[in-house]
Amino acid sequence: MVEFEKIFDLRFFARRSGKAAVLAISFWCCSLTAIAQTPSSAPSPQELQVPAVAADFHPAPKPLPELSRVGVDMDRQRPLSLREALALALANNKDIEVARQNVRISEFDLKSAQGIYDPRLSSTAYYERSKSPISSFLSGGSNGAVTQSDYTGTARLEGQTPAFGGNYHLDFSSVRLTSNNQFTALNPQYPTALTFTYTQPLLRGLRFDTSRRSIEIAKKNLSLTDAQFRQRAIETITSVQRGYWDLVFALRNLQVQREAVRDARTQLEHNQRLVAEGALAPIDVVAAEAQVAGFEQTLFSSLEDVSRAENNLKNLIAENHQSDLWNLSIVPTDSVDLVTPEISLPDAMKAAMDNRPELQQSTVAREINQIDQKYFREQTKSQIDLVGTYGMVGLAGTTSGGVNPLTASSTQLRDAVNKLLLNSGFDRLPDPPAQTISPDLLGGYNESLQNLLANRFNNYRVGVQINLPLRNRTAQAQLGRSLVEGERLATQREQLQQSIQVEVRNALQLVRSAEARLHSAGIQRQASEQQYQSEQRKLDAGQSTVFLVLERQTALTTARGNELRAQTDLNKAIADLQRATGNALTTNSIVVRVR
């Protein structure tokens, strides 16, 4: 490049300096020739050894393939409006289905958290037999051992109270006991017991505890998934709108390219007639043939764009990969909307701040953080609980019918003493009161239950449990972390609001720019049509050239495509504005029911 620049400079110098400069130019050219003939020992590092690509390719004369799309039956057309496409997408789109399932999962999480207050009933039943050796004169056994057996059944009803963080236990026990102990007055006997215990926090856990925290967070998570579902729905609506208008443009652009090929072939036939009449040179036919070939290339590229746009829309609205929709040719029925929404920037910003699901999600995250702060602040308090217990017991059984060894021996001793007293002239000892079993205790299991419910024998206890940790760094650290988390969420919310402002401003600018582009594109298309028609008339009158006619034809095709692109870009810009302001659901009259 440097040598050629020097040659240009020398030629310019020759025009200015005469014969001497011409001799210098000749000398310089000879030098370049000698350099060019000198073999190079090695290729320059800047030189690329690129192999030739189909250097001998010559296309065979054959007709072009049909304008068909792979896997699509062109005879089976599916008219589709934009609203139908939105309905299919909301019903079949996989992202929407996943978001809907997330809402259902959150519903079950909330039900699971509320289940902490469900009462729990547990019971135990067993048979037990024990045989113990006699180790005392008062053991009361026989054959050197005390043997007893029992059937025991217990039941417990326990749970937590939704208010004030209390918990309760209701325990019931029932036993059938038999024994060979001689001191047992009732054999078999049926002892029963019913005990109620309630624990009430007085400080930590009184206003807020783990169970209430779990329920509140589950409620907020359900609201969060609702907002996420609406966000996914808005994004899907925007994607369907953009995909729908992309398909509209691709199909109409395919028509434009087919018309361009038709016009080019008409121009080719016209040029061939003029060549036959001697009005044009044969080379003008070659130029027209090149024009036809160029438009045919663009035509098949446009067909590929149609296939891509159609598959993209089908991917958004088809139920699954086996849906019959994949084999149909989608024909959009809605025309482009050329009326732009009249909305000011302040109104658009207000709508975005009120409707954007991202801000709703940020609000829910902040509320969850406030729940955590409340809980962890509660955990920093000392634990003081009031505990109360009230119990009732019942008993019944059958008298054993035996003689109490202690009673029998004491009677014999009393008789001996009384005999001595009488012989000595003293009065006898008074008779001891009779030791009998209360008639209320005689009976079976039903009698024991009646004694229990009669509440003749009861006990109660009231006390305070105190748990004072010497250091509570874990709760303090968790509280500090939740406070910092709240600051981080506030910062992220400000960042989100700023990003939304940028999106709204850009969306409004895009709508206005698309509207202006559409106006200019329409004027350009009208002017190109007039120029093309005028240039054709000039060519027929011999006042123009084939080159200019082909240029006008190319410009007209481009202008038509630009106008189509501007029309669909305006509708896509309107869809983006609906997404930016969060009005995609209300504007399209879509009611989302997530539960």
Q: What's the pLDDT tens digit per position in 315-357?
A: 999 988 888 999 999 999 988 888 888 889 999 999 999 999 9
Kindly state the average pLDDT of the residues 527-537: 91
Average pLDDT, the chain: 84
Instruction: Note the pLDDT of residue 13.
Output: 37
Instruction: Note the pLDDT of residue 570.
Output: 92
| Better pLDDT: 475 or 183 | 475
Instruction: Note the pLDDT of residue 431.
Output: 67
Asked if pLDDT for residue 28 goes beyond 70, the answer is: no
Q: What is the pLDDT of residues 101-128, one digit of tens each?
A: 999 999 999 999 999 999 999 999 999 9
Instruction: Note the pLDDT of residue 149.
Output: 92
Q: How confident is the model at residue 271 (pLDDT cuts 50, 70, 90)?
A: confident
Spatial distance between the Cα atoms of 467 and 8, rounded to a whole number of angstroms:
99
- Residues 376/477, Cβ–Cβ less than 8 Å: no
Q: How confident is the model at residue 25 (pLDDT cuts 50, 70, 90)?
A: very low
User: DSSP letters along 378-405, please?
Assistant: HHTS-EEEEEEEEEEEE--EEE-----H
Instruction: Note the pLDDT of residue 12.
Output: 35
28-42, 289-303, 492-506: least confidently modelled range? 28-42
Kindly state the average pLDDT of the residues 515-522: 91
- Residues 166/178, Cβ–Cβ less than 8 Å: no
Instruction: Note the pLDDT of residue 174.
Output: 94
Q: Which ranges constitute the DSSP H helices of 441-472?
A: 445-453
Q: How confident is the model at residue 2 (pLDDT cuts 50, 70, 90)?
A: very low
Asked if pLDDT for residue 239 goes beyond 90, the answer is: yes
Asked if pLDDT for residue 42 goes beyond 60, the answer is: no
Hey, where are the domains in the chain?
83-106+212-330+339-377+474-587, 119-201+383-427+436-468
Kindly state the average pLDDT of the residues 402-424: 65
Kindly state the average pLDDT of the residues 528-555: 87
Superfamily for the 83-106+212-330+339-377+474-587 domain = Outer membrane efflux proteins (OEP) (1.20.1600.10)
Instruction: Note the pLDDT of residue 288.
Output: 86
Kindly state the average pLDDT of the residues 153-166: 93
Asked if pLDDT for residue 595 goes beyond 70, the answer is: no
* 192 beta partners: 174, 394
**Burial of 505 per CB tally in 10 Å (0-12, 13-18, 19+):** middle
Instruction: Note the pLDDT of residue 471.
Output: 84
Kindly state the average pLDDT of the residues 350-368: 93
Q: How confident is the model at residue 439 (pLDDT cuts 50, 70, 90)?
A: confident
Asked if pLDDT for residue 494 goes beyond 90, the answer is: yes
**Burial of 426 per CB tally in 10 Å (0-12, 13-18, 19+):** exposed
Q: What is the pLDDT of residues 498-510, one digit of tens each?
A: 999 999 999 999 9
DSSP 3-state assignment of 554? helix
Q: How confident is the model at residue 407 (pLDDT cuts 50, 70, 90)?
A: low
Instruction: Note the pLDDT of residue 504.
Output: 95
| Better pLDDT: 341 or 580 | 580
Spatial distance between the Cα atoms of 32 and 30, rounded to a whole number of angstroms:
5
Percent of the chain's residues with pLDDT above 70: 84
Instruction: Note the pLDDT of residue 107.
Output: 92
Q: How confident is the model at residue 409 (pLDDT cuts 50, 70, 90)?
A: low
Kindly state the average pLDDT of the residues 461-472: 90
Q: Is the entire prediction scored with pTM above 0.85?
A: no
Asked if pLDDT for residue 406 goes beyond 70, the answer is: no
Q: How confident is the model at residue 408 (pLDDT cuts 50, 70, 90)?
A: low
Asked if pLDDT for residue 135 goes beyond 60, the answer is: yes
Spatial distance between the Cα atoms of 229 and 100, rounded to a whole number of angstroms:
6
Q: Most confidently modeled of 17-21, 164-168, 586-590?
A: 164-168
- The label of the residue with tokens 């123009």 reads 544
Q: Phi/psi of residue 310, each to 5°?
A: -65, -45
| Better pLDDT: 184 or 217 | 217
The CA-atom distances, in angstroms, between 287 and each of 210, 264, 358 are: 84, 10, 58
| Better pLDDT: 241 or 6 | 241
